[in-house]
Amino acid sequence: MNILLQMTARAIDEWRAELERVLPEANIATWPEAVSSPDYVLVWKPPPELFRRVRPGKAIFNLGAGVDALLALPTLPTDVPVIRLEDAGMAEQMAEYATFAVLRIYREMDVYETDQREQRWLPRPWRAKADFGVGVMGLGMLGRAIAAALVPFGFPLAGWSRERMSLPGVATFAGAAELAQFLGRSRVLVCALPSTAETRGLLERTTLGLLPPGAHVVNIARGDIVVDDDLVALLDAGHLGGATLDVFNTEPLPPDHPFWHHPRITITPHVAAVTVVADSVAQIAVKIRRIEAGEAVTGVVDRIHGY
């Protein structure tokens, strides 16, 4: 079989070496080598030119959980299955990041950090968890992992998704009709939604305004789900208490962006979950061998819904 790999220059050698180790029967080329008709193309944010030159025969693998950048390519073939990574070590990392963010907010560590800088010794009063609802927005594999990690801490947990789901220890809400009720009980909102036509710009002034006064937004999904100016406006107005952001509309975050210096915003450089190469390649190899055997695989992207 023939495989074409397209990846950032910094990571491509590691990916190729792992693919050669796990799939020794494959002939592996790297973009922009001239491989006009590979069986499989493995890509991460490929240039439009790739699919002008290359015609994948069996499948396109997206080397990450988010497929929005790939689906936006005008040159992407419409008749070749797109397969996304499922977890591959990312769910655990996402759950760690979200749990840390929620506990940091609940225990008011941001306040203590400010107090330390200003040499202020001021213990905060204890807060009952029963009054501190946490909402997870998006209940795919990553969102479910986040919710499961938070269950043992005893917060009133809620989850919202496009379609109705059932999760142990989590009150679930579905669709536009139940969005306001879900947001109204979320003192911390953890966004784990995919970027789709339905979700881009979803967290804007009106929806963010439905959160309780003093609520905190944690976005570890996609930057385009949040409207930056509306988030800043609600923070400055005092309706929102803070935001923890790992993803942004433009990455790297531009030097003049207000997020850098806003006192109520904590940013990290898209590190909530990084792709684990060995786990990812092992998953891809299993799926390629299943396809070669004529068997079905999971993770095939629904292009209508965008994930």
What's the rounded Cα separation, in Å, for the pair 6 and 25? Answer: 19
Both 232 and 284 in one domain: the answer is no
What's the mean pLDDT in 152-177? 97
Q: What is the pLDDT of residues 178-235, one digit of tens each?
A: 999 999 999 999 999 999 999 999 999 999 999 999 999 999 999 999 999 999 999 9
Both 28 and 94 in one domain: the answer is no
Residue 304 has pLDDT above 90, yes or no: no
Both 255 and 215 in one domain: the answer is yes
Residue 13 is encoded by which pair of tokens? Answer: 């050698």
Both 11 and 99 in one domain: the answer is no
pLDDT band at 6 (very low <50, low <70, confident <90, very high): very high
Both 96 and 66 in one domain: the answer is no
Active site residue 270: yes
Q: What is the pLDDT of residue 65?
A: 75
Burial class (CB in 10 A: 0-12, 13-18, 19+), 128: exposed
Q: What is the pLDDT of residues 242-258, one digit of tens each?
A: 999 999 999 999 999 99
Q: How many CB atoms lie within 10 A of CB 104?
A: 19
pLDDT band at 237 (very low <50, low <70, confident <90, very high): very high
Q: Does the residue 130 lie in any domain?
A: yes
Q: Does the residue 297 lie in any domain?
A: no
pLDDT band at 87 (very low <50, low <70, confident <90, very high): confident
Active site residue 222: yes
Both 83 and 119 in one domain: the answer is no
Number of domains observed in the structure of the chain = 2
Q: What is the pLDDT of residue 138?
A: 97
Window from 49-53, 64-68, 216-220, 237-241 with minimum mean pLDDT = 64-68
What's the mean pLDDT in 48-58? 95
Both 132 and 15 in one domain: the answer is no
Both 23 and 124 in one domain: the answer is no
Q: What is the pLDDT of residues 11-34, one digit of tens each?
A: 999 999 999 999 999 999 999 986
Catalytic residue among 200, 222, 239, 289: 222
Q: Does the residue 246 lie in any domain?
A: yes
pLDDT band at 284 (very low <50, low <70, confident <90, very high): very high
Both 97 and 189 in one domain: the answer is yes
CATH number, domain at 104?
3.40.50.720
Q: Does the residue 39 lie in any domain?
A: yes
Q: Does the residue 50 lie in any domain?
A: yes
Residue 113 has pLDDT above 80, yes or no: yes
Q: What is the pLDDT of residue 89?
A: 83
What's the mean pLDDT in 62-70? 88
Q: What is the pLDDT of residue 144?
A: 97
Mean pLDDT of the chain: 95
Both 96 and 77 in one domain: the answer is no
Both 46 and 119 in one domain: the answer is no
Residue 23 belongs to domain spanning: 2-88+276-292
Whether 159 and 167 have beta carbons less than 8 Å apart is answered as: yes
What's the rounded Cα separation, in Å, for the pair 300 and 307? Answer: 8
What's the mean pLDDT in 129-150? 97
Residue 156 is encoded by which pair of tokens? Answer: 């009133």
- 3-state SS of 62-113? ECCCCCHHHHCCCCCCCCCCEEECCCCCHHHHHHHHHHHHHHHHHCCHHHHH
Catalytic residue among 53, 239, 270, 289: 270
Q: Does the residue 190 lie in any domain?
A: yes
Residue 287 has pLDDT above 70, yes or no: yes
What's the rounded Cα separation, in Å, for the pair 278 and 15? Answer: 8
Residue 88 has pLDDT above 90, yes or no: no
Both 226 and 114 in one domain: the answer is yes
Q: Does the residue 307 lie in any domain?
A: no
Q: Does the residue 305 lie in any domain?
A: no
